[in-house]
Amino acid sequence: MENARKIVIHIRHSKHTKDTHAHKKVRAHHHTHEHDDIRKESQLLSFLTNAPVKKVGVISPVATNVTPSAYAEPIVPARLVVPKKPVVVEGIPMSSYSIAYFCMEMGIENSIPTYSGGLGILAGDMLRSCADLKIDTIGVTLLYRGGYFKQRFDESGWQVEEEENWNPYEKLILLPGEIHVQIEGRMVRVRAWLYKIHGVSGNMNPVLFLDTDIEGNTEEDRVITRKLYSGDLRLRLMQEIILGIGGVRMLEKLGATNIQKFHMNEGHSALLTLEIYRQ
């Protein structure tokens, strides 16, 4: 176990739970909205991935009555081991990054409609702040070609929802290579698009947009990442499988193998813990 790396997982959670020794490594950012209870979806997850549900440790946030100084640790790891030959993708030394920031939606530009509101705006602002402060962080989210929806008001003042369509080739860079995630016994192909966030100091942080709209996938699988917050519980869980499990695999595929801190903005990406546990 000498070569094992220490991984700290940050969860942005809305519920209050008691602090225990097992919970000390988890940091919580509290939010006013209720978030999905993954435990209630365990049977559906087993059905989708054709894998038995195992009883493993539950990761929970610390109690709100504990002062930050009692459990806080630096956001940047004190020690970072960079390979002798770093993996470089589009001029980015991927193997030198140690923090991954996962979020179901990401508000970076108005012309990239992969967000619906506050959660996505917060994620985008967080990644921009990291770039400004020279904190090397990789963002991971999904590519929604159909966005959320475009809003306009008619003559009577009623909101009208319209389809949102945009061309990722105009804003993002399609990266080479694919990863595969098993869903309902099918191997779903996933690729990634790159966006570069430049901070005021010149520092740059990458954001990965995961995409299943690929030739070779079934039509059902191609629409998994087509629209934000659409469909039923089954489709939502498939999106979370792509984000959490697929996100960790894509980081490794692109050479970001030195991630020591995973920040989950809300519980949508909680399945990344299963992929880390599997490893």
Q: In whole numbers, what is the pLDDT of the chain averaged over residues?
A: 77
Which domain range does residue 59 map to?
Answer: 8-278
Distance, CA of 174 to CA of 182 (rounded, Å): 22
Q: Tokens 């629209």 label which residue?
A: 227
Q: Give the number of other Cβ atoms within 10 Å of residue 263's Cβ.
A: 23
The phi, psi pair for 60, rounded to 5°, reads -130, 155
The verdict on residue 48 lying in a domain is: yes
Domain assignment present for 102: yes
- Residue-wise pLDDT tens digits, 38-76: 444 444 445 444 555 444 333 333 333 444 434 344 445
Q: Is residue 225 part of a domain?
A: yes
Q: Which residue has the higher pLDDT, 225 or 51?
A: 225
In a domain, 140, yes or no: yes
The pLDDT of 98-118, averaged and rounded, is 90
Q: Which of 195, 222, 193, 192 is nearest to 206 (CA)?
A: 195
Residue 42 maps to a domain: yes
- Whether residue 155 is contained in a domain is answered as yes
Rounded Cα distance between 132 and 157, Å, is: 40
DSSP character string of 204-256? EEEEEEEE---BTB-HHHHTTTTSTT-S-HHHHHHHHHIIIIIHHHHHHHTT-
Contact 31, 267 (CB under 8 A): no
Task: Give the pLDDT of residue 50.
Answer: 53
CATH of the domain at 106: 3.40.50.2000
> Does residue 2 form part of some domain?
no
The pLDDT of residue 147:
78
Q: How many domains does the chain have?
A: 1
**What is residue 144's DSSP assignment?**
-
As a whole number, mean pLDDT of residues 161-181 equals 90
Give the number of C-alpha atoms closer than 13 A to the C-alpha of residue 106, restricted to the C-beta side. Answer: 26
Long-range contacts, 64-67 (Cβ 8 Å, 24+): 64/16, 64/28, 64/30, 66/19
**Model confidence band, residue 37 (pLDDT cutoffs 50, 70, 90):** very low
Q: Out of 14-28, 35-49, 206-220, which region has the weakest mean confidence (pLDDT)?
A: 14-28
Evaluated on CA atoms 262, 264, 269, 270, the torsion sign reads positive
Is 3 part of any domain? no
